[in-house]
Amino acid sequence: MRDDLTGRLRSGSADFAATVSPAAPEAIRARGNRRRRRQALAAAALALVIGAAGAGTAYASLARPGAAGPDGPATGRTQPAGPSAPGRPDIVAVTSAGALVVLDPLSGEARRILVSGGVSPGAIAVSPDGRTVYFAVRSGCVGEIESVPVAGGRPRLVTPGALPAVSPDGTKLAFARGPDSTARSITCDNPNPRGQVVVRDLPSGHETVLPEESHPTRIYPVSRLSWSPDSRSLLVSAGPAPDNTGWQLAVVDPATARYFLAAAPGNSAVPLPGLASSYYYREGAYLPDGNLFVDQVCCTGVPARVTSNLLLEVSPSGQLIRQVAIGFKDRDHTSLNADPSGQWLLYLSGSDLFLSLGGAAPFKLTGGLVAAAWT
């Protein structure tokens, strides 16, 4: 009986096999290629979503469960996406070789070269519509401010000066004339001129000039200018005086002020609550909510000896909101900047570019830069 059952099973298998027409090898390969193409398209779509998410990071295995992924052996489950965050805008920057470039905000690589060389360090500014970047170049022994489309094009001369800052409403350009931290705008005829902060009305070209108040011994070079969110006030970073004292962070109303110094009538210095007089703000910039992103340093003196360097968010009255980072003691921290959402911060630590999301621990994106700003 067992032999009879075995015979019937074999006979049935043979009959079933006779009804099956196996696919040709070419057809099998074609189906495999189609499957791989579908996986590649799905992977590309996922990569696009990851890139649009900015800080969020997601990994998914499109192959078999248990295959190794970017984080090591997979568990057979899709890796969860990172925290929701605004996408990173592009970044414009000046390289140590003097080129003005647009950086990829995720990789830090130069995506586009706007100006191939000759751009001064110190500061660059982007119009609120994100279409135009203002920068300074050296022409002879004076600085000149030029503009160029972020999409690329021919640079255009704007006016003599350095350290441009565009108002959030897009109508005014503030900049420095005279000595500044880049030493680019000292004139040939007068190697030790008094500094000026100038506000230029972009539609008309009319300029309001705020000189440094006359002082018998001290000259305060301007190192950074930043507009308040309502486009009415300027935050002026200036200093040091020759003896490494007198660093200033002043709130200046260009409509009423006569001078740009903090001690001048109508101006106010950003306080340092509860700290010794040897502490100072090396640089500051307005945030979109009206608070300030500052570099607080200790201490003044000759020779300069930095014992503390902190990147902070503070109120205009100097009250601490949060600490963003502990800065390196042997580096300047410059190009303090926030994107229009106020969520993304950037700054240079020496020549290294750091980014921070929502005040979280910053991370280095790239290096070899002398100025940077969000588009």
Tens of pLDDT, residues 236-294: 998 877 666 778 899 999 999 988 887 777 788 999 998 888 899 999 999 999 999 99
Q: What is the pLDDT of residue 140?
A: 63
What's the pLDDT score for residue 132? 98
Structural domains of the chain sorted by starting position, each given as residue range(s) with its CATH number in brackets = 20-85 (no CATH), 91-374 (2.120.10.30)
Least confident range from 47-56, 59-68, 144-153: namely 59-68
Peptide bond into 65 cis (omega under 30): no
Q: CA dist 253 to 152, 246, 247, 261, 325, Å?
A: 34, 20, 19, 11, 30
| Whole-number pLDDT of residue 148 | 98
Instruction: Name the DSSP class of 219.
Output: -
pLDDT at 100 over 80: yes
Q: Is residue 123 over pLDDT 80?
A: yes
Indicate whether 59 pLDDT > 70.
no
Can you give the pLDDT at residue 168? 97
Facing residues of 314 across strands? 292, 320
CA distance 13 to 2: 17
Phi-psi label, residue 43: left if phi above 0, alpha if psi -120 to 50, beta otherwise: alpha
What letter does residue 58 receive in the DSSP assignment?
-
Residue type, 71: D
* 170 alpha carbon, distance to own chain's centre: 19
Using DSSP's 3-state secondary structure scheme, residue 306 falls into coil
Task: Note the pLDDT tens digit of each residue in 1-20.
Answer: 445 544 543 444 444 344 44
Task: Please give the full DSSP string across 180-194, using - where no structure is assigned.
Answer: BTT-----SS-SSPP
Q: At 351, is the pLDDT very low, low, confident or very high (cuts 50, 70, 90)? A: very high
The whole-model pTM stands at: 0.74
Rounded to 5 degrees, φ, ψ at 261 are -75, 150
Give the residue-averaged pLDDT of 95-113. Answer: 96
Cα torsion angle, 270, 272, 278, 279, sign: negative
244 phi/psi in degrees, rounded to 5:
65, 25
Say whether the peptide bond before residue 242 is cis (omega within 30 degrees of 0): no
Residue 31 CA to residue 150 CA, distance in Å, equals 46
Cβ-proximal residues to 207 (8 Å cutoff; 6+ apart), any chain = 159, 198, 199, 200, 201
Instruction: Judge whether 155 and 147 are in contact, CB under 8 Å.
Output: yes
The band of 366, judged by pLDDT with boundaries at 50, 70 and 90, is very high
User: For residue 296, which of 307, 317, 281 has the smallest C-alpha distance?
Assistant: 281
What confidence tens digit (pLDDT) does each residue in 189-215 have?
Answer: 544 456 789 999 999 999 999 988 765
Confidence band for 82, pLDDT divided at 50, 70 and 90 = very low
pLDDT reported for residue 358: 86
Mean pLDDT of 322-328: 96
Q: What is the mean pLDDT of the chain?
A: 77
Q: Provide mean pLDDT across the span 50-74.
A: 29
More confident residue, 124 or 35: 124
Can you give the pLDDT at residue 43?
A: 37
